[in-house]
Structures are given as structure tokens and as C-alpha cells.
Structure 1
Amino acid sequence: MRLRQGEGLAELMEVIERFTPLAQSLAPSAAVAQVGGALRLFGVGPVGLAQRLRLQAAALYGLGTVVGIGPSWSVAAMASSRTGSGGVLHVPVSDTADFLGPLPIGELYGIRRAQATALRSLGVLTIGQLAVLPGATVLRILGRPGRALQERARGVDHRMVVPGRAAETVSVRADFAVDVLDGFEVRSAALRLAAELGARLRAGERAARSVTVVVRMADRTEVSKARTLAAPSAHTDDLRRAVYGVLDGFGLQRARIRRLTLVAEAVDGGLAHTQLTLDGAREARLRVEPVIDRLNDRYGPGTVGPAAALA
């Protein structure tokens, strides 16, 4: 279940938990739930239950939502992005192969851009083509992560719903005065937000495990994608690279952008570690961050920051 506008996750979880306790929050704007017990309790089918959830979310909190229903986590997630105007798409077990098969390989849930590129270069253009490849071939192309991706291409996802509160998040956003194309202005805003996000994480002695980039278009539609960092970090440079990587993957050259939001899944800063490298420029940036933080604390946020972000 996803929010159309990306805000109100806590309220969405309250609605879902009225129907089932087996619900897990997926920051910043989605949740996954197991509803087998709820179907029996309320005596409705999957689509009927989804419609009740959407109705209560709208009536109680004014939330616009879409719901994907499927035999596994990943199938439901992909269905939720293809609900159309009805807001609900149910993919039964018997229809899973027909649903997944024609979809472009880049739309497989959890696949990275580099992995999709590697598959396309070898002629694997659809999810269905990945599903029927020999396992040894997938292993040779994608390595060990390829096994899980091929299982998802077949509609199999072994992840379990873990009930509980949403992970702690820290978010920042920029609203553009006029709709803009992805270019210098968007990248400058992304850099400025990455610097602000890093400063807020460091101030709270937190680090980002992952960063989600949410882009709102001129027509009020949104696209979002999360990137997990190699190791938890609160360094602006690490956050910037993750954000730029997601933006590059969106391919938004012709899209008119209205808002850019960054959401960090925050963990204890003690989990972060700084690995010494031979990159002198990076080491210099890491050493200067505490100085920048102190200056901004004293003279106001944004007083000192990356030059490209201040342009």
C-alpha cells in the first residue's frame, strides 16, 4: 500500500493496523501487510479489503493511496505502481507469470541500475526472460545477488513482514518556485539538501543506513527510490553520491520537477565508521565537516556549504 503524495505514513499505519497487526512500515511512503487473517475475519475478498483500507485512509486522514495485492512482497509492490485510476490491482498466484513476464527488466523490484544494464547488454530485456534463464547463467552475470532477483522474477520473495513501528527517519525537502528540468538547478538543490541532511544527522549523532529520493512532478505525480549506503554514514559526500546516483537512474531529463525530498533511514551514529582512504580530497572534506557544522550553528543554517549548492 502506497501513499500517492508521500506524506502521512504514520497515519497510514494506524489505518492498516485496524485490519491486521501484521503490517510493516516502509519509509517514506509505503507499507506491506499480510491480510490472510483479515480476509477471514471481515468476510471479504482481497480487492474488497483493499477498498475498505483506501476508504478509511481517505475518510479519517484525507490520504490518497494505491494498493497492490499479490502472492509475495515484491509482486504486490510492483502491482501497486500499476493500479491505474482504480487504485487497486490484484495479481493472483495463477496470473503472476503473465503479469511479470512482459515488464521491462529495469522494473523488477529491487534490481539495481547496473544489474539491469548488464542484463540488457546480453539481450535480457524483460522480467520473464530473466525468470527462464539457467541459474548458472544468472550467477555468472549478476553474482550471488542474482539468485534473489531471479526468484523475484518468478514471483517468489522469501522476505517476511516484520510488524513494528516505522524506522526513524530524517527528511529535508526543497520546493522550486517554478517547475524546473533536471539540470544544474536540481543538482544544486540536491547537493544543498544532502549537506543539510548530513548536518542534521551529525547533530543528532545519527547516520544514514539508506537514502530515499522522492521527486514530485508538475502534474503532482511522484517517483521515489531508495539507495542503501555501503556503510552507515552522515558525511555529505556519501549522501551526495547516493542521491546523484538515484537521480541519474530516474532519467528525468524532460520531466518538469516541482519538489525534491530526501529521506534518510537513521541509525545510531556509532554504527558508522570512517575508513581511511588514499583520496586526499575526500579526507579533507571529512576533516572540515565539524568546522562547517560549528559555523552554521553559530551563524545560521546554510551559512557555509558546498559552493555548487550556494550557486
Structure 2
Amino acid sequence: MKAPVFFHVRLRRGGGLAELTEVIERFTPVVQPLAPSAVVAQLAGSHRLFGVGPVDLAQRLRLQAAAWCGLETVVGIGSSWTVAAMASSRTQSSGVLEVTPSETAKFLGPLPVGELYGIHRTQADDLHRLGVETIGQLADLPSETVVRILGRAGRGLQEHARGVDRRVVVRGRAAQTLSVRADFARDTLDGWEVHAATLRLVTELAARLRSRGQAARSITVVVSMADRRDLSKTRALRAVSAHTDDLRLAVYGVLDGFGLQRARLRRIGLVADAVDAAQAHTQLTLDRAREARLRVEPVVDALNARFGPGTVAPAAALTGQL
């Protein structure tokens, strides 16, 4: 039986996900958007239908996306969702990278374990402490050892390290997302102005989640640089939450990881992977300041709903508007 072919298509710049999805649907109906800036597709016989191989088909897709929609894309090709996603982040100048089934172990093996698609930073840290530095080392560990280190989630991660991904593309199913964005009037150095704008975005995003009866599982931070580069990283929250504090800590953690220092920024955007708020559980803590902030959130939400968004906000978020 021939191995399936997955395309993982990334936008080089934010925006245009709906348009990209429409372009890919011209090649295959099995397409699933992955907000904020990627699409995964499964191609059963599309390359035979069009009379070209997967790489040529990917180049044709990229050309149409650029010509019709002005979208710059890269495409990873693999026999599983994970392999295709890993390939799409390593396409270099060609814009397309195919990893065949026979090349999967050689491709994944030397890569740092922290770059495995879907792994969380805390999981990578646990592996590092035990001397597991590469994806190949994770793949070679006894399964029982992986489960002891990472719990039940370790089984899936080890399968991904071996190039196995049991997920299938579900046509038209996009994760529920909420997004907010701030554009700077001029290229802005990372500093108090950027942090004030970020806090305003976090506050707005958290309030919108609560107003819709939703909470976030993860937050994606997208930063557009003055040199036209985009940085994007997703961080899973420790627990599903719609509390401003929890979202703020996750976002600031991502920004610190970017190491922006004196970089000039044009835009910052946040995207929350939203689920029903019933999945969120608030635990009691001994932190009186946090408990006070949690109690005041409904009051702030009510005031902003009555008098307009931003009427009440953290002082640090207002600093950039003075």
C-alpha cells in the first residue's frame, strides 16, 4: 500500500489563510486550515490527476497562491502530518521540501528534540535533563521509559519522533480561534511601548473570550519585524483559561523567548485557540493578589460592556496611549 502524501503549507506573512485554503482546494478537497497561518492537506491521487509529482505540484500551488492572491508560501511534503509540518519549516530557498518515507528517520533523527512538532517546552526540558537531546534519541528510547518521563502524552510524541502521526485531515475543520492585532504607526523598538500594546491586546483577548463563554488552550504570538520577517510561536497554557493573568504570562514568555532586544517591530498579533469555558477549571490558590484580580474581572467586564471597550484597563496598558 502506497504511503499517503501530506502537504503542510505555511504563509510567510500573516493574513490570507482563507484565500490560501481556497487555492489548495483547487488541488484536493481534503484541506484543513490551521490558524493563524498554515494549512494541512492530504493528497490521495492529486499528483496523478495533474500528471506531476508532489514537488512539482507544490510549486504549482505556490505559484497560483502568489499570482492570484499575492501570498508567499512554503510547502513541506511528508508521509504524515508531523513530517510535513517539520519539513515546511526547513524549506530554505526553494520553498518546498519533500521528505519521503525512506528519508524520514534520517531527516528527523538529528534535529533537536525541542523542535519536534507538537512538543511543549516543559516536555523538552524534562527530556533534556535526562540527556535526550535529539528527536532520534527520543525515537530510540524504550516506550516504557518515555511514558515514565512524559506520562501518557509521551506515547504520541514518540510516534511523532518516528514519523508516525495517526491524525487525518478533516475537511473544512478549523480550530475555533480569536485574534487581536496592533499595528504600530512607525517601526518601534521593543520596550515599554511594545509591552503596553501587548498588555492591551492580552486584556482585550481575555475579555472577548469571557464574553463568548470560551477559554484558551494555547496562545500564538505573531510579530512582524521592520525587515519584513515574521516570528511566530505557539505556547500551550498550563491549564485552559480565560483569565488575563494566565494569558499575559504565556504571551510574555513567548516574547522573552524571541530575544527581540533592540529589534524594530511593525505589528504584533495574538491568536487564541478557543474552547468552551466549561473545560476551564479555576483552582483556589494562596496568592491573595491573584485571587483579587480574578474576583475583579467580572466587574471590569461589566463596566467595559456598559461604557465601551478599554474604559477600565491595567495602568501599564494605558501608558502607551498617554
TM-score (norm 2): 0.87
Offset at residue 175 of structure 1 (A): 2.8
Question: CA distance change for structure 1 residues 40 and 146 in 2, over 3 Å: closer, same or farther?
Answer: same
Question: 1:74–1:152: 8 Å Cα contact kept in structure 2?
Answer: yes
Q: What's the CA shift string for 1:19-40, capped at 9, x where partnerless?
A: 1111111111101111122122
Q: In the alignment, residue 75 of structure 2 is paired with which amino acid?
A: V
Residue in structure 2 matching 1:98, options 106, 131, 138: 106
Where in structure 2 are there 5+ consecutive unaligned residues? Answer: 1-8
Question: CA distance change for structure 1 residues 262 and 71 in 2, over 3 Å: closer, same or farther?
Answer: same
Offset at residue 15 of structure 1 (A): 1.0
Question: CA distance change for structure 1 residues 153 and 256 in 2, over 3 Å: closer, same or farther?
Answer: farther
Q: What's the CA shift string for 1:62-113, capped at 9, x where partnerless?
A: 1111100011111111110111121111111111111112212211111111
Correspondences of 1:211-230 after superposition (within 5 Å): 211-230=219-238
Asked whether 1:24 is paired with 2:32, we answer yes
Asked whether 1:258 is paired with 2:266, we answer yes
Question: 2:224–2:267: 8 Å Cα contact kept in structure 1?
Answer: yes
Question: 1:10–1:166: 8 Å Cα contact kept in structure 2?
Answer: no
Question: 2:188–2:194: 8 Å Cα contact kept in structure 1?
Answer: no
Question: 2:120–2:235: 8 Å Cα contact kept in structure 1?
Answer: no
Residue 244 of structure 1: aligned partner: 252
Q: What's the CA shift string for 1:203-258, capped at 9, x where partnerless?
A: 34433343211122332222222234455433212221222233344444465443
Residues 245-254 or 41-50, more deviating: 245-254
Q: Distance in 1 between matches of 2:49 and 2:207?
A: 48
Residue in structure 2 matching 1:66, options 74, 86, 99: 74
Q: Distance in 1 between matches of 2:142 and 2:156?
A: 14
Q: Secondary structure at the match of 1:162?
A: coil
Q: Secondary structure at the match of 1:224?
A: strand
Residue 189 of structure 2: aligned partner: 180
Question: 2:120–2:236: 8 Å Cα contact kept in structure 1?
Answer: no
Asked whether 1:121 is paired with 2:129, we answer yes
CA RMSD across the alignment: 2.2
Residues 248-257 or 41-50, more deviating: 248-257
Q: In the alignment, residue 300 of structure 2 is paired with which amino acid?
A: I
Question: CA distance change for structure 1 residues 113 and 267 in 2, over 3 Å: closer, same or farther?
Answer: closer
Residue 290 of structure 1: aligned partner: 298
Residue 4 of structure 2: aligned partner: none
Residue 130 of structure 1: aligned partner: 138
Asked whether 1:155 is paired with 2:185, we answer no
Residue 88 of structure 2: aligned partner: 80
Where in structure 1 are there 5+ consecutive unaligned residues? Answer: none
Q: Distance in 2 between matches of 1:250 and 1:211?
A: 15
Q: In the alignment, residue 289 of structure 1 is paired with which amino acid?
A: E
Question: 1:47–1:88: 8 Å Cα contact kept in structure 2?
Answer: yes
Residue 199 of structure 1: aligned partner: 207
Residues 43-52 or 287-296, more deviating: 287-296
Q: Distance in 1 between matches of 2:158 and 2:264?
A: 35
TM-score (norm 1): 0.90
Residues 274-283 or 49-58, more deviating: 274-283
Question: CA distance change for structure 1 residues 60 and 245 in 2, over 3 Å: closer, same or farther?
Answer: same
Q: Secondary structure at the match of 1:34?
A: strand
Runs of 4+ deviating beyond 6 Å: none
Aligned pairs, number:
310
Offset at residue 52 of structure 1 (A): 1.5
Q: Among the aligned pairs, what percent are the same residue? A: 73
